[in-house]
Chain A
Amino acid sequence: DIQMTQSPSSLSASVGDRVTITCRASQGISNSLAWFQHKPGKAPESLIYGASNLQIGVPSKFSGSGSGTYFTLTITSLQPEDFATYYCHQYNSYPYTFGQGTKLEIK
């Protein structure tokens, strides 16, 4: 199985900050990588697919990059509603797998 490792596992930031979360795959997955935002008690929201493509309706403050084994999610100008847990997800090889999550907390 492909292991997805996110770093950091948790991150404290302030409103207005820019943050970057990284995701490493244990083997190459081309650009078959998605990012999700998840708030407690709510449905996850899809942010990015194909490593860098924004889902419809997702603001441009979110951006993704990478290919192969190394990927990043960058969020600019943090707002209170952005504080959540973020997951990367590979859909290149079965079984598909998720990273362990990065909890973004307000400082």
Chain B
Amino acid sequence: EVQVVESGGGLVPPGGSLRLSCEGSGFTFGLFWMTWVRQAPGKGLEWVANIKHDGIEKNYVDSVKGRFTISRDNAKNSLSLQMNSLRVDDTAVYYCTRGAAPSLWGQGTLVTVSS
């Protein structure tokens, strides 16, 4: 089955760190851009970051630059998002998606930043 599955969400205090993971299966992971998209409670979708096939080119929305790092391991079909200096407004469901224009979405993992 072609799918991506996220993990790693949870409750973290402001200023804390969390690492999200995403595993792809059923497709050649290393051929695709990969993207993180989030949805805060009651809000719309927000593009967060993406990474090129080879892992060299990475792009971020301004609000997470310097705090979040996207990375990938094509040998393990995995994508990661290291989130540092978390803020309350980072609270959201984080989706792993395949493609620069997302064509496949995971179920999402909830990140709650709260004291």
Contact = CB atoms under 8 A, between A and B. Distances in A.
B95 interface: yes
A24 interface: no
Most buried by B among A46, A49, A50: A46
Given A55-B103, A95-B60, A43 B95 contact: yes
Interface string B102-114: 1111111000000
Interface residues of A, number: 23
B106 A98 contact: no
Contact of B47 (A44, A50, A55, A97): A97
Provide the main secondary structure of the chain A interface.
Answer: loop
A89 B101 contact: yes
Contact of B101 (A34, A38, A45, A99): A34
A32 interface: yes
Given A43-B95, A44-B95, A91-B100, A98 B46 contact: yes
B44 interface: yes
Interface string A35-48: 01010001111100
Contact of B45 (A42, A44, A94): A44
17 contacts: A36-B102, A42-B107, A43-B108, A44-B45, A46-B101, A46-B103, A46-B105, A49-B101, A49-B103, A87-B44, A89-B45, A89-B47, A89-B101, A97-B47, A98-B47, A100-B44, A101-B44
